[in-house]
Structure 1
Amino acid sequence: CALPISAQAADPDQEDDEVLAITGTLQDATALAQQLTNLGYAARSLQELPVLGFALMRLGIPGGQDVPTALYSLRQTFPTTLFDANTLYGPQAAAEPRHYAKDLIGWTEPLHECRLEVDVGLIDTVVDGGHPALKDSRVLAKNFLTSGLKPAPPDHGTAIASLIVGDPKSNTAGLVPSARLYAAAIFGLRDNDRVVGTTDAIARAIDWLGQQGVRIVNLSLSGPSNQVLRLTMERAHGSGMILIAAAGNEGPNAAPVFPAGYAPVMAVTAVDAALQPYTEANRGDYIDLAAPGVDVWSARSGRGGRYSSGTSFAAPFVAASAAVLLALEPDVSAEAMRQRLTNAARDLGSPGRDSTFGWGLLQQPAGC
């Protein structure tokens, strides 16, 4: 097996001075950390994630090494341990340009009259809980940013939160305003003003949501594939979580993005008021559903609202629909939920599932 070729410059989609390791137990992680310390690595954090069933460790790599070289060496020395880069992920939003979205999928107003007792998880930026659309909503927030990292502006998370649980009396009413929202903040702001969230933050946020009993998780974010992220999604799905992610805004010819590209995750693309696909949306056989995501009205940080576009803004429509179904049938499995949502979709494009719209346009579930 050939040694990896050292990159000329650090990969901008991963932390350039650390890697992640996964072990089965905290005891195994502690023993591994001692061995790695002797090899010049620094154990920056070590945490047991009981819902996911593994321990997660952040390792600072020795000076003079880059990430590919460190990963090659670690995988050769410890072949039974999972190591990968700490990949960076970003919110899937596009710049801002009608309140068409709910009508497009047959969403009945006012749904707030149905007091749905259901929890929804959101992994995103910090949410502006003081916004008029959210100050009276049930939002429980927790920060998962790496120590010392400045929080990213709350615009993206606030917009997604308002689409799900926005006060019906505000001008940015949510789809399921009576739901309880668990908001996990993972996105920080780098010195170059880049908004990023790390793989380990996503894993810790997922595990926290699982510990709170949250089954529906909205992931309006994307990035490259990563073994730790893949295992996180598989374990979360196996525990009963319903994972819903933005399909990506990299363009119709782009490769799949993740976590949407993983089989346990429902990938959501965006359409406009005329049922045309969002021009920047990814396409591929991993797309599950389409939902409104072009010029969607949502809250903006501070006060008021704005129109936004991107697959980020389509995903919460699916999360809200899943919330309605879960409230009516609390024991529904993740796969049964996927079947209910896709079977009810309005076919768009080529008959059956296709790479542009998946199974078609989301429809509001019956009931309440």
Structure 2
Amino acid sequence: MRKWTALILIFALPMSGTAQRVTAQIALPPAQLPDAARTLPPLPNLGPNVGAEPLARIGDTLAQARIDRITNLLRDHRDRIEPDHGGQPAVRGILIATGIDDAMIARATEKGFRLLERDRIEGLDLDIVRFAVPDGRSLARAQKQLAKLLPDAEVDVDHIYFTSGPGSPLPAATLARAAASGKASLGLIDGGVAAHPAVTGRVSQRGFAAGAPVASSHGTAVASLLVGSGPVQGSAPGQRLLAADVYGADPAGGNASTIARALGWLAQNGVAVTTISLVGPDNKLLALAVSRAQQRGMLIVAAVGNDGPAAPPAYPASYRGVFAVTGVDARNRALPEAGRARHVDFAAPGDDVLAATGPDSVDRLRGTSFAAPLVAGRLALHYPTPAIDRIGPAVSALVMEARDLGQRGRDKTYGHGLICGDCGGR
């Protein structure tokens, strides 16, 4: 419980800084999905005693799939996306900065960085500036130069984040809408949500990317696992949900800027618990947006991804105070493709999970994307409104729910243990 005592202090103080079950573990943003060349090859069928050799083969497969995913995205949309200094995909020709004043903007424009936009993210009281990179200059080089020019500002690229489970756009789908207005304790940052009977009447949506909101199978699945009722039962059935579509129809959707704006909207509307089943690299704007949302009492639950335990730490799951969730199979073993974060807090069912995937479809899915909402829904039942002084009791109640797995007590693989073990149609 020491961690959660510390977590209360973190929130109280200012802070810096038809489904393809295994074959589509690593999904591109909804606008890019799917084709057979971009899905993860089938993983070996693992028996009860898993040796090092099959796990190593899975790790190699996942590593190559991750490289291919990024390579394909950069190749297919080079007009909109380019790599940063570490090879991570980002919006082409754009740098974002926070902690910046008029003098800094003038200094940057003198050096050829064109001011595109000054924006304030309401709900987070966060001011951001967007600059266009000078012609002929790579994104990586320009970031290094602008950071040196503005040492007191936080400068980064606009990284792109991927869904941590299979999903695709549903262009002909009708969007789910709420029957009545009112406060919602749960938020979702993902693709749009289709009007499946399991969620109809309980979802209000807003778009934060070009063409959004657009219903997606991934967003619909995660929403149904949060608030679904009837044949698809979520972990917080019947609750209201605010859903932010950060992908829309934009190949460069799902970027840090859209996620930050979505967090602001949810904070403005008093959301207590937000689910983010997206993964990508550390980003200064995203880190600050997460921090500001947490300071307002929002609890954020994120999936660790499906790139395997040898992959780099996934964000936002790795940020301080974010609840990182891994997935387990029917035998309560960690999914071999589950990614990693700098910490793991809870596990939940992530294999053969029953979820809505369109206006009239229900499928069995696999991936950590579908474990995270099961934890978030249970957390929201203990924490229905944002209030710093209620975080400790809510987290304690959730920990008491957890079924210990793996090593006795909290461990690096399952965190505090399994939440909602009988959820997801298991």
Aligned to 1:272: 329
> How far 1:200 moved relative to its partner?
0.6
Aligned to 1:69: 141
Q: Is the 8 A contact 1:266 1:338 kept in 2?
A: no
The change in CA–CA distance for 1:289 and 1:10 in structure 2 (over 3 A counts) is closer
Aligned to 2:193: 127
The answer to whether structure 1 residue 253 and structure 2 residue 310 are counterparts is yes
The change in CA–CA distance for 1:95 and 1:37 in structure 2 (over 3 A counts) is closer
Aligned to 1:159: 221
Please, which of 346, 349, 353 is the counterpart of residue 403 of structure 2?
346
Please, which of 182, 198, 210 is the counterpart of residue 267 of structure 2?
210
> How far 1:88 moved relative to its partner?
0.7
- Report the Cα distance in structure 2 between the residues aligned to 1:335 and 1:187, rounded to whole angstroms: 34
> How far 1:52 moved relative to its partner?
2.4
Aligned to 2:293: 236
> How far 1:176 moved relative to its partner?
2.2
Deviations 1:208-230 (A, max 9, x none): 11111111100011101111111
- Report the Cα distance in structure 1 between the residues aligned to 2:215 and 2:290, rounded to whole angstroms: 26
Aligned to 1:20: 96
Letter in 2 for 1:131: H
Q: The residue matched to 1:255 in structure 2 has which SS? A: coil
Matches within 5 A, 1:23-62: 23=99, 29=101, 32-62=104-134
The change in CA–CA distance for 1:77 and 1:336 in structure 2 (over 3 A counts) is farther
The change in CA–CA distance for 1:30 and 1:309 in structure 2 (over 3 A counts) is farther
- Report the Cα distance in structure 2 between the residues aligned to 1:8 and 1:253, rounded to whole angstroms: 21
- Report the Cα distance in structure 2 between the residues aligned to 1:61 and 1:331, rounded to whole angstroms: 40
> How far 1:165 moved relative to its partner?
1.7
State the TM-score, normalizing by the size of structure 1: 0.80
- After TM superposition, the structure 1 stretch with the greater mean CA deviation from structure 2, 275-284 or 9-18, is 9-18
State the TM-score, normalizing by the size of structure 2: 0.70
Please, which of 153, 164, 171 is the counterpart of residue 92 of structure 1?
164
> How far 1:121 moved relative to its partner?
0.5
Letter in 2 for 1:143: G
Deviations 1:217-250 (A, max 9, x none): 0001110111111122122112111010001111
> How far 1:118 moved relative to its partner?
5.0
Q: Is the 8 A contact 2:272 2:384 kept in 1?
A: no
Instruction: Please list every run of 5 or more consecutive structure 2 residues that lacks an aligned counterpart in the other structure.
Output: 1-81, 169-182, 422-426
Q: The residue matched to 2:196 in structure 1 has which SS? A: coil
Q: Is the 8 A contact 1:90 1:196 kept in 2?
A: no
User: Aligned-residue CA RMSD in angstroms?
Assistant: 2.9
Q: The residue matched to 1:353 in structure 2 has which SS? A: coil
The change in CA–CA distance for 1:179 and 1:261 in structure 2 (over 3 A counts) is same
Aligned to 1:109: none
Please, which of 394, 402, 409 is the counterpart of residue 337 of structure 1?
394
- Report the Cα distance in structure 1 between the residues aligned to 2:318 and 2:238, rounded to whole angstroms: 31
- Report the Cα distance in structure 2 between the residues aligned to 1:297 and 1:54, rounded to whole angstroms: 38
Q: Is the 8 A contact 2:270 2:385 kept in 1?
A: no
Q: The residue matched to 2:254 in structure 1 has which SS? A: strand
The change in CA–CA distance for 1:7 and 1:208 in structure 2 (over 3 A counts) is closer
- Report the Cα distance in structure 1 between the residues aligned to 2:385 and 2:112, rounded to whole angstroms: 54
Aligned to 2:280: 223
- Report the Cα distance in structure 1 between the residues aligned to 2:236 and 2:213, rounded to whole angstroms: 27
Aligned to 2:42: none
- Report the Cα distance in structure 1 between the residues aligned to 2:290 and 2:212, rounded to whole angstroms: 26
The change in CA–CA distance for 1:339 and 1:134 in structure 2 (over 3 A counts) is same
Letter in 2 for 1:173: Q
- Report the Cα distance in structure 2 between the residues aligned to 1:8 and 1:165, rounded to whole angstroms: 37
Give the structure with the higher percent strand: 1
Letter in 2 for 1:77: L
Q: The residue matched to 2:259 in structure 1 has which SS? A: helix
Instruction: Please list every run of 5 or more consecutive structure 1 residues that lacks an aligned counterpart in the other structure.
Output: 1-5, 97-116
The answer to whether structure 1 residue 144 and structure 2 residue 220 are counterparts is no
Between the aligned residues of both structures, percent identity stands at 35
Q: Is the 8 A contact 1:141 1:184 kept in 2?
A: yes
Letter in 2 for 1:44: L
Q: Is the 8 A contact 2:193 2:214 kept in 1?
A: no
> How far 1:167 moved relative to its partner?
3.6
The change in CA–CA distance for 1:284 and 1:161 in structure 2 (over 3 A counts) is closer
Q: Is the 8 A contact 1:326 1:332 kept in 2?
A: no
The aligned length equals: 327
Q: Is the 8 A contact 1:220 1:312 kept in 2?
A: yes
> How far 1:188 moved relative to its partner?
4.1
Aligned to 1:326: 383
The change in CA–CA distance for 1:10 and 1:82 in structure 2 (over 3 A counts) is closer
Q: The residue matched to 1:58 in structure 2 has which SS? A: strand
Deviations 1:89-122 (A, max 9, x none): 01110489xxxxxxxxxxxxxxxxxxxx852000
Q: The residue matched to 1:305 in structure 2 has which SS? A: strand
- Report the Cα distance in structure 2 between the residues aligned to 1:82 and 1:217, rounded to whole angstroms: 25
> How far 1:253 moved relative to its partner?
2.1
> How far 1:356 moved relative to its partner?
1.4
